Each structure stands twice: as structure tokens, then as C-alpha cells.
């Protein structure tokens, strides 16, 4: 296989091929999905996990936050709105990208996972809009969205992701799919967290708890997505040894390192006026996250090994999230539940 030749867009139906695909790309696959006859049965567990995380913005009543909004300082309000719109910008890229990947993945069970992820990204986008519409008029929302689009630090941060996504869009080769996957892990597994930290920081002070509840749902989804993408890439490399090169492993370390630097830079910009979030501590948190993503990919830590320096960012424990502790291939099916009194913000 030439990893630099474009993959062909998969025909909807290939009746002469088996239902169980012979590969996640370039596989022989009928296009029919029978979950009982798939190449990687653990993908069904992941599908169940994603579905049991299902939530929608309207389930959360924003009334308490609406009342508290007027009591936030003007700095808190500004940072709140800036982060909200900047996170919405990141999520906006994910729905169309995941849909596009589906056209080139030959295994129907993986297509189904990408479809569910795309749906969840649409919910994330809606939730940011829902929060905004509860708090500020449309005119003001538009101003913040324009700022998010034009901010140079945000642009620089997002450009790497965008470049990788556009590259695959223009030229859907296996190599570009690999690079898209790595960048997607950066987006979902590293880039969101300075934003999440701010909302959890408010929650620690009993402020804007409804918003933070939504953020915690988004975080739970994103951790699952980043985890899935890591498994996808591992299978992609295992099935396609031509992709499993030293250059590609170096690529992972390089772009994860870049993402860490850009996330730190963004955190310094976005959180500089917020008392109570120690930026040096957040920097270590970013490195902790990057190590976790690398281990999920089966690679080594890039930074000093450490425990989570900001445990309050994690509303959901790693164990609950299928984190790095269990090997994907040995993993047992688990059931997940929505946030309750016992696993929700009381733990913050």
C-alpha cells in the first residue's frame, strides 16, 4: 500500500464482500453492519459507552446560572464569554471532519463510532449556544464569536489542527488520515482543558454550576473521543505497517509537544486575570494530559511522570473514563451513568 495515494471513497454497498471488514481502511467490506460480526468486538463496548453518555443541553435548566450571572465580576464575565466562544470554534471543526472520515473508513463498526462522535460534537456546539443564549443577547454573542475568529493566539493554536484537517480533505491519503487522527487527539485531549479549568474553577466557588455541569458532560465525551482516536490510530498502524514508521512516531511526539506549548500560551492569555488558578500548575497539568494521550497511543511519556496536579479538573475519574489504566484489548464492558449527586460536583 502506498500511504501517499488517496484512499477511494467507499461505495455504500459491496455485496460481494463480507460484512466483517478485512481492514479499517482499504478493507473488503460489504458496507452492512452486523454488530455481532465485526473485526474488533471491543468497538461495540465503546459504542455502548458513547451512547450511555447521551445528553442534551436542554436537560439542564440554566435558571440558577442566569441569576448568578449578574454577580460575576466583569473580568469573570469576559473570560467566561471568551472561552465559551473559543471552545465552540474548536467543536465546530469536529462534526464535519468526523463525517468526512467516515467516507474513507472501510469498517462499518468504525463508521458508526465516527457518526456518534459527529453527533456528540453537534450537541457540544449547541450547548455553547444554549449557555450564551441564556446569558447575553445575540448582538453580544456575535461580537464574541468574531473575536474568537480573529484572535491571533487562537488562530495560531488552531492552525495546526486546521492544516491537518484540510490536508486530509484535499488529499485523503492514509498518511494524512494518520496525521488528522493525531491532531484530533490534540484538539480533544489537550486543547479544551484550560477552558474547562476556568469553568470548574467557578464551580469550586459555587458559581455557574449549570454551565459546569454541561462542561463536565463535554469533557466526558471528549476524553472518550480522544481515547477512541488513540485506539483507531493504533489499529491503523498495526494493520498498515507502512504507516508504522519512525518518522510517524516522531511526528506524534512533535505535534503533541507543539500542542502543549500552544495550550500553555493560550492558558496564559485566557486565565491571566483569574485569581486562584496557578498557571505554573496548569502547565504541569497540560504535560500530564499529554503524557496520558501518548500512553494511550502506546508511546512513552514526553514529560516527567506525575500525578494529576489539578485533580479538581477531573469531575470524572480516569477509571470511569476508560483512561489509560486498562489495556483496550483486555477491557471489559462497563456501564456508565449520567452525573448524579454522588459523582457530580459535590466532589469538587
287 is an interface residue for Zn ion by CB under 5 A: no
**Contacting range for Zn ion; rule: CB under 5 A; set: 103-111, 183-191, 304-312, 318-326:** 183-191
Nearest approach in angstroms of CB 20 to Zn ion is: 27
Residues 115-154 that bind Zn ion (CB under 5 A): 121, 124
Taking CB under 5 A as the rule, which mask of x and - marks residues 7-46 in contact with Zn ion?
Answer: ----------------------------------------
Judged by phi (left if over 0) then psi (alpha if -120 to 50, else beta), residue 206 lies in left
| The one among 188, 239, 263, 283 contacting Zn ion by CB under 5 A | 188
Which residues, 6 or more positions from 172, have their beta carbon under 8 angstroms from its beta carbon? Answer: 6, 7, 9, 100, 103, 104
List C-alpha distances in Å: 309 to 15, 90, 280: 53, 25, 10
Q: Is the distance from CB of 243 to CB of 174 less than 8 angstroms? A: yes
How far is residue 261's CA from residue 287's CA, in Å, rounded to a whole number? 9
Residues 219-248 that bind Zn ion (CB under 5 A): 222, 225
Among candidates 141, 332, 147, 316, which has minimal Cα distance to 221?
316
Nearest approach in angstroms of CB 224 to Zn ion is: 8
**Contacting range for Zn ion; rule: CB under 5 A; set: 25-33, 165-173, 184-192, 306-314:** 184-192
Nearest approach in angstroms of CB 127 to Zn ion is: 9
Which of residues 39 and 259 has its CB atom nearest to Zn ion in the complex?
Answer: 259
Q: How many Cβ atoms sit within 10 Å of the Cβ of residue 58?
A: 10
> Which residues in this chain contact Zn ion in the complex, by CB under 5 A?
91, 121, 124, 188, 222, 225
Amino acid at each position: 500500500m502506498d500511504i501517499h495515494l488517496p484512499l477511494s471513497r467507499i461505495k455504500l454497498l459491496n455485496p460481494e464482500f463480507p460484512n466483517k471488514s478485512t481492514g479499517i481502511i482499504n478493507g473488503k467490506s460489504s458496507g452492512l453492519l452486523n454488530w455481532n460480526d465485526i473485526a474488533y468486538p471491543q468497538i461495540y463496548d465503546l459504542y455502548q459507552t458513547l451512547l450511555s453518555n447521551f445528553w442534551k443541553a436542554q436537560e439542564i435548566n440554566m435558571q440558577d446560572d442566569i441569576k448568578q450571572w449578574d454577580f460575576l465580576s466583569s473580568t469573570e464575565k469576559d473570560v467566561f464569554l471568551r472561552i465559551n466562544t473559543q471552545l465552540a470554534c474548536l467543536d465546530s471543526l469536529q462534526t464535519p471532519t468526523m463525517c468526512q472520515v467516515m467516507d474513507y473508513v472501510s469498517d462499518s463498526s468504525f463508521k458508526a463510532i465516527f457518526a456518534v462522535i459527529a453527533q456528540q460534537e453537534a450537541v457540544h456546539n449547541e450547548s455553547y449556544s444554549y449557555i450564551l443564549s441564556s446569558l447575553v443577547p445575540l448582538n453580544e454573542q456575535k461580537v464574541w464569536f468574531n473575536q474568537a475568529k480573529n484572535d491571533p493566539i487562537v488562530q495560531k493554536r488552531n492552525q495546526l489542527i486546521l492544516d491537518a484537517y484540510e490536508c486530509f480533505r484535499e488529499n485523503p491519503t492514509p498518511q494524512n488520515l494518520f496525521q488528522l487522527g493525531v491532531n484530533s487527539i490534540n484538539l480533544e485531549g489537550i486543547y479544551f482543558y484550560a477552558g474547562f479549568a476556568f469553568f470548574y474553577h467557578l464551580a469550586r466557588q459555587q458559581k455557574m454550576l449549570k454551565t459546569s455541569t454541561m462542561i463536565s458532560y463535554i469533557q466526558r465525551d471528549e476524553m472518550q473521543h480522544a481515547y477512541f482516536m488513540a485506539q483507531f490510530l493504533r489499529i491503523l498502524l498495526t494493520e498498515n505497517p507502512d504507516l508504522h514508521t519512525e518518522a510517524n512516531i516522531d511526528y506524534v511526539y512533535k505535534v503533541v509537544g507543539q500542542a502543549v506549548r500552544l495550550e500553555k500560551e493560550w492558558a496564559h492569555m485566557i486565565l491571566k486575570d483569574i485569581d486562584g488558578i496557578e498557571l505554573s500548575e496548569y502547565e504541569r497539568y497540560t504535560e500530564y494530559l499529554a503524557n496520558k494521550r501518548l500512553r494511550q497511543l502506546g508511546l512513552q511519556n514526553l514529560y516527567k511522570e506525575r500525578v494529576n496536579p489539578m485533580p479538581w479538573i477531573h469531575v470524572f475519574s480516569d477509571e470511569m473514563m476508560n483512561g489509560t489504566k486498562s489495556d483496550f484489548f483486555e477491557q471489559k464492558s462497563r456501564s456508565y451513568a449520567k452525573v448524579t449527586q454522588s459523582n457530580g460536583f459535590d466532589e469538587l
